[in-house]
């Protein structure tokens, strides 16, 4: 099969790889769409992805081959895949925090250990496959995973208990935009987005942001002169969390969603943090349950792929697409093996 692999020099290129064969409890999926994630850019530049590895963890496709013990799905089924196999039996899984299951370090698809979906075919455990309802498009199917990330971030916050809170979102990249959509989906209406780039700011308005400011510091006065109760930091930069701490109201909450590079530290003004008594929470991935909720929400139209997806491209365009994303020339790009 054709797959996008990391060459020894670090470039991405289409190579020939053996077709995957399903083991017990596994299926092989013909990839329809696979999104390029901001974390893929971080991962590639980290050097953790070795030569020969295939990335890609935001995907949907059709089941084309099944191993033993996979009666839950049929060949031809369209599925979105939760790309990190959780064990289902550890203390974290049992207590409803499967996003932290330690088994994922070895089971994750497209993050280094197991080949991902920048390829014609990808292997996945059947229990990670979530059937896509009739009428849902393959573009929507590829957005289930990143929307689940945003949904989890919102669930980590006070907004769930009080959707009337004043909410700031820093950064209108894919995760920021999806967080705006998830906030709207959970009933929040008072959402202001801080984004420097005009094109992304416009997308935030289309996603349902009530208003916009051009930088994180301006969130402090964005609500008729009042400070936000909660700020979601989705910028993926170590520079913005300290600005969030300054902008948020005393006793407020900051949720860290954007991913920073390995080795980067956050330089938080310690005295300010203490005297404002701000709760700083982090958010990673989603629970199994939230992935299922994401399928339902995306199927109901919580996000418009036409707003979020800048382009759909062939596998051969993977490296150029990484370059475009890194340079801010696109917001969300999908790869489609059928395009070449
Ligand atoms: Zn991702
Ligand atoms: Zn577990």
User: Which pair of structure tokens corresponds to residue 29?
Assistant: 């999926």
Residue 185 within a domain: yes
Count how many domains the chain has. Answer: 2
Closest listed ligand to the CA of 95: 2
- Same structural domain, 264 and 333: no
User: Which pair of structure tokens corresponds to residue 270?
Assistant: 């310690």
- Same structural domain, 87 and 236: no
User: Residue 190: which CATH number?
Assistant: 3.40.50.720
- Same structural domain, 66 and 33: yes
Residue 195 within a domain: yes
What is the rounded CA–CA span in Å between residue 67 and residue 181? 37
In sequence order, what are the residues at sequence separation of 6 or more whose Cβ sits closer than 8 angstroms to the Cβ of residue 298? Answer: 136, 140, 141, 143, 144, 147
In sequence order, what are the residues at sequence separation of 6 or more whose Cβ sits closer than 8 angstroms to the Cβ of residue 98? Answer: 86, 88, 92, 287, 288, 289
- Same structural domain, 268 and 296: no
Chain centroid, CA 293 distance in Å: 15
Residue 151 within a domain: no
Which pLDDT score, from 0 to 100, does residue 44 have? Answer: 84
- How far does the centroid of ligand 1 lie from the alpha carbon of residue 147, in Å? 9
Which pLDDT score, from 0 to 100, does residue 203 have? Answer: 96
Domain end position, chosen among 241, 259, 282: 282
- Same structural domain, 88 and 135: yes
- Same structural domain, 37 and 131: yes
- How far does the centroid of ligand 1 lie from the alpha carbon of residue 276, in Å? 33
- Same structural domain, 126 and 189: no
Which pLDDT score, from 0 to 100, does residue 38 have? Answer: 85
- How far does the centroid of ligand 2 lie from the alpha carbon of residue 96, in Å? 10
What is the rounded CA–CA span in Å between residue 32 and residue 9? 28
Residue 85 within a domain: yes
* Residue 238 predicted with pLDDT over 80: yes
- Same structural domain, 319 and 268: no
Residue ranges making up the domain that contains 78 = 2-146+286-339
- How far does the centroid of ligand 2 lie from the alpha carbon of residue 202, in Å? 40
What is the rounded CA–CA span in Å between residue 265 and residue 11? 27
Residue 329 within a domain: yes
- Same structural domain, 107 and 43: yes
What is the rounded CA–CA span in Å between residue 77 and residue 94? 29
Residue 152 within a domain: no
Which pLDDT score, from 0 to 100, does residue 82 have? Answer: 97
- How far does the centroid of ligand 1 lie from the alpha carbon of residue 112, in Å? 13
pTM of the shown model: 0.96
Residue 218 within a domain: yes
User: Residue 103: which CATH number?
Assistant: 3.90.180.10
Share of the chain above pLDDT 70, in %: 100
**pLDDT tens digits for range 10-58:** 899 999 999 999 999 999 999 999 999 988 988 888 777 888 999 999 9
- First CA to last CA across the chain, in angstroms? 12
H or E element, residue 253? strand 253-256
Which pLDDT score, from 0 to 100, does residue 260 have? Answer: 83
- Same structural domain, 179 and 273: yes
Indicate the SS3 state at residue 288: helix
Which pLDDT score, from 0 to 100, does residue 66 have? Answer: 98
What average pLDDT score do residues 143-168 get? Answer: 98
Which pLDDT score, from 0 to 100, does residue 268 have? Answer: 93
- How far does the centroid of ligand 1 lie from the alpha carbon of residue 39, in Å? 6
What is the rounded CA–CA span in Å between residue 231 and residue 274? 17
What is the rounded CA–CA span in Å between residue 154 and residue 178? 10
- Same structural domain, 184 and 215: yes
User: Which pair of structure tokens corresponds to residue 70?
Assistant: 């996979």
Which DSSP string do the residues of 128-166 spell out, in sequence order? GEEEPPTT--HHHHHHHHHHHHHHHHHHTSGGGT-TTS-
Domain end position, chosen among 282, 313, 331: 282
**Residue 261: band (very low, low, confident or very high) from pLDDT cuts 50, 70, 90:** confident
What is the rounded CA–CA span in Å between residue 266 and residue 35? 28
Assess contact for 268 and 242: CB atoms under 8 A.
Answer: yes
- How far does the centroid of ligand 1 lie from the alpha carbon of residue 332, in Å? 11
Which pLDDT score, from 0 to 100, does residue 47 have? Answer: 77
**Residue 105: band (very low, low, confident or very high) from pLDDT cuts 50, 70, 90:** confident
- Same structural domain, 13 and 90: yes
| Phi, psi of 3, rounded to the nearest 5 degrees | -145, 150
**What is the sign of the dihedral through the CA atoms of 173, 333, 326 and 116?**
positive
| Phi, psi of 288, rounded to the nearest 5 degrees | -55, -40
**pLDDT tens digits for range 218-227:** 999 999 999 9
Residue 236 within a domain: yes
């Amino acid at each position: 099969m054709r797959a996008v692999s990391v060459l020894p020099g670090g470039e991405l290129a289409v190579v020939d790889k053996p077709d995957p064969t399903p083991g017990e409890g596994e299926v092989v999926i013909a990839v329809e769409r696979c999104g390029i994630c901001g974390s893929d850019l971080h991962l590639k530049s980290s050097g953790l992805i070795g030569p020969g590895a295939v990335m890609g963890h935001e995907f949907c496709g059709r089941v084309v081959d099944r191993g033993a013990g996979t009666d839950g799905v049929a060949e031809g089924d369209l599925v979105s895949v939760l790309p990190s196999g959780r064990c289902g039996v550890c203390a974290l899984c049992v207590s409803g925090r499967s996003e932290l299951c330690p088994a994922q370090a070895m089971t994750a698809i497209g993050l280094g250990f197991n080949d991902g979906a920048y390829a014609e075919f990808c292997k996945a455990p059947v229990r990670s496959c979530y059937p896509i309802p009739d009428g849902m498009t393959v573009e929507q199917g590829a957005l289930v995973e990143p929307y689940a990330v945003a949904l989890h971030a919102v669930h980590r916050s006070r907004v769930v208990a009080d959707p009337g809170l004043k909410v700031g979102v820093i950064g209108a990249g894919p995760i920021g935009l999806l967080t705006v959509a998830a906030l709207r989906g959970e009933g929040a209406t008072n959402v202001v987005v801080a984004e420097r780039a005009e094109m992304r700011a416009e997308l935030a308005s289309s996603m349902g942001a009530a208003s916009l400011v051009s930088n994180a510091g301006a969130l402090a006065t964005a609500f008729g002169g009042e400070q936000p109760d909660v700020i979601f930091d989705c910028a993926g930069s170590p520079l913005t969390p300290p600005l969030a701490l300054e902008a948020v109201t005393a006793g407020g909450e900051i949720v860290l969603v954007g991913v920073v590079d390995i080795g980067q530290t956050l330089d938080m003004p310690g005295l300010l943090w203490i005297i404002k008594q701000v709760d700083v929470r982090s958010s990673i991935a989603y629970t199994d349950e939230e992935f299922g909720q994401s399928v339902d929400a995306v199927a109901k139209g919580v996000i418009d792929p036409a707003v979020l997806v800048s382009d759909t491209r062939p596998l051969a365009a993977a490296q150029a697409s990484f370059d475009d994303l890194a340079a801010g020339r696109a917001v969300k790009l999908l790869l489609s093996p059928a395009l070449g």
